């Protein structure tokens, strides 16, 4: 026994594996298993370089299913199963299954004009989760001391189709002094590349009239509180509608620039300029009634949400 111990004490380190067969040796995962370091030191082989295995989230892409949810919770051994099931449902709801809501007025403004000050609103409220939502949208305009000229209300079902886009479908009801129509609505809204907010919709009325609308805007931060928002909107019609003074094709085009200051994220007064133009037959209908085909105007308003 004493002789064996002395032999082990004087044996070179590279002979450890031969002297003690069966004992595991820890090696980095990047070592070539066909050429251990001790064999390379003796000149028996030459190691090939090995790539380090991916770590953390640096894994190859794939479509493997997610791992099953753990079922071996230690708390299950000490608490009532019913109470644990309720706590589990609450945790899952709070981490992705919750219902949210918001009311947002992107435009709520007045436009001072000589002898005919006007007002305008454009807002929506929604309730739901990440995928399914109920959206109620409204917009309109008019002049002070007179009836609302145009107004509409939409009730839409909105479904998320990816992290940035929603498909929407529902109904639209026109109100105000003009001809009243009810429409079926199909549309899309989302966040385009470079953070452009985009909305588009088709409207089919109960009289077979087809309209379209495309609008978009972009929030350019000048400072953390001062935001410049350019905005454009285009309205189109598939046919002439003399009763509504709308011509086929591009009926109106609008461009605006608004500078707002966020006293809080939920409350931001703004000042800006807005340009609107009726085109084609829509412009001729307006001129026939003694109205302007369009022009620019100063706007003062507030953007708010809660």
Residue 96 has pLDDT above 80, yes or no: no
Whether 193 maps to a domain, the answer reads yes
Core vs surface per residue 119-134: b (16+ CB within 10 A) or e: bbbbbbbbebeeeebe
Distance CA 91, CA 93 (A): 5
Asked if residue 20 is part of any domain, the answer here is no
In a domain, 157, yes or no: yes
176 φ/ψ angles, rounded to the nearest 5 degrees:
90, -165
d(CA 256, CA 234): 12
What pLDDT digit, counting tens, does each position of 9-29 carry? 444 444 444 444 444 444 454
Domain harbouring 154, CATH code: 2.40.160.40
Nearest CA to 247 out of 237, 255, 256, 257 is that of 237
Q: What is the rounded distance in angstroms from the CA atom of residue 112 to the CA atom of residue 106? A: 19
Residue 112's beta-bridge partner residues?
none
181 within 8 A of 195, measured Cβ to Cβ:
no
160: left (phi > 0), else alpha (psi -120 to 50), else beta?
beta
Q: Quick check: is 7 in a domain?
A: no
| pLDDT per position as a tens digit, 209-236 | 999 999 999 999 999 999 999 999 999 9
The DSSP bridge pattern shows strands 210-217 and 226-237 to be antiparallel
Reported as half-sphere exposure (CB side, CA atoms, 13 A), residue 5 has a value of: 2
Q: Label residue 98 by pLDDT band (50, 70, 90).
A: confident
Tally of domains within the chain:
1
pLDDT in tens, 31-73: 567 787 787 788 778 777 766 766 666 777 778 787 777 777 7
Structural domain harbouring 265: 117-305
- Please indicate, yes or no, if residue 275 is contained in any of the structural domains: yes
Inside any domain, residue 13: no
| Average pLDDT of the segment spanning 171-182 | 86
Q: What pLDDT, on a 0 to 100 scale, did the predictor assign at position 32?
A: 66
Task: Residue 30: count other Cβ atoms within 10 Å of its Cβ.
Answer: 11
Instruction: Identify the pLDDT of residue 9.
Output: 45
The continuous run of DSSP H or E covering 233 comes out as: strand 226-237
In a domain, 209, yes or no: yes
Identify which of 155, 110, 114, 159 has the alpha carbon closest to the alpha carbon of residue 132. 159
Single pTM value for the model: 0.72
Q: E strands within 54-147?
A: 100-111, 118-128, 132-143
Mean per-residue pLDDT of the chain: 85
The residue written with tokens 């989230």 in the block is 57
What is the CA 201 to chain-centroid distance, rounded? 17
Residue 135 domain-assigned (yes or no): yes
Bridge partner list, 236: 212, 250
CA angle, residues 254, 255, 261, in degrees to nearest 5: 130
Q: What is the pLDDT of residues 105-144, one digit of tens each?
A: 999 999 998 778 899 999 999 999 889 999 999 999 998 8
The DSSP code for 264 is: B
């Amino acid at each position: 026994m004493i002789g064996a111990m002395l032999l082990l004490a004087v044996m070179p380190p590279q002979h450890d594996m031969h002297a003690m067969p069966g004992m595991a040796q820890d090696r980095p995962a990047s070592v070539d298993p066909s050429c251990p370091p001790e064999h390379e030191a003796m000149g028996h082989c030459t190691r090939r370089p090995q790539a380090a295995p991916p770590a953390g989230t640096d894994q190859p892409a794939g479509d493997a299913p997610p791992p099953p949810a753990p079922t071996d919770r230690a708390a299950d051994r000490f608490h009532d199963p019913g109470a644990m099931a309720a706590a589990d449902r609450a945790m899952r709801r709070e981490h992705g299954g919750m219902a949210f809501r918001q009311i947002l007025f992107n435009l709520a403004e007045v436009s001072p004009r000589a002898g005919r000050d006007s007002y305008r609103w454009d807002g929506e409220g929604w309730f739901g989760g990440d995928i399914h939502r109920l959206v109620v949208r409204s917009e309109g305009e008019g002049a002070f001391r007179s009836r609302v000229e145009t107004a509409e209300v939409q009730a839409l079902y909105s479904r998320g189709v990816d992290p940035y886009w929603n498909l929407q479908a529902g109904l639209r009801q026109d109100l105000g002094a003009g001809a009243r129509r009810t429409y079926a609505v199909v549309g899309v809204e989302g966040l385009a590349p470079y953070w452009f907010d985009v909305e588009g919709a088709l409207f089919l009325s109960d009289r077979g009239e087809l309209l379209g609308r495309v609008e978009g805007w972009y929030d350019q931060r000048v400072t953390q509180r001062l935001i410049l928002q350019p905005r454009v909107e285009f309205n189109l019609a598939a046919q002439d509608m003399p009763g509504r003074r709308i011509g086929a094709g591009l009926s109106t085009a609008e461009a605006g620039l608004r500078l707002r200051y966020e006293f809080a994220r939920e409350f931001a007064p703004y000042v800006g300029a807005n340009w609107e133009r009726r085109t084609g037959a829509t412009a001729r209908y307006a001129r026939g009634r003694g109205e302007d085909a369009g022009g620019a105007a100063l706007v003062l308003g507030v953007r708010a949400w809660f």
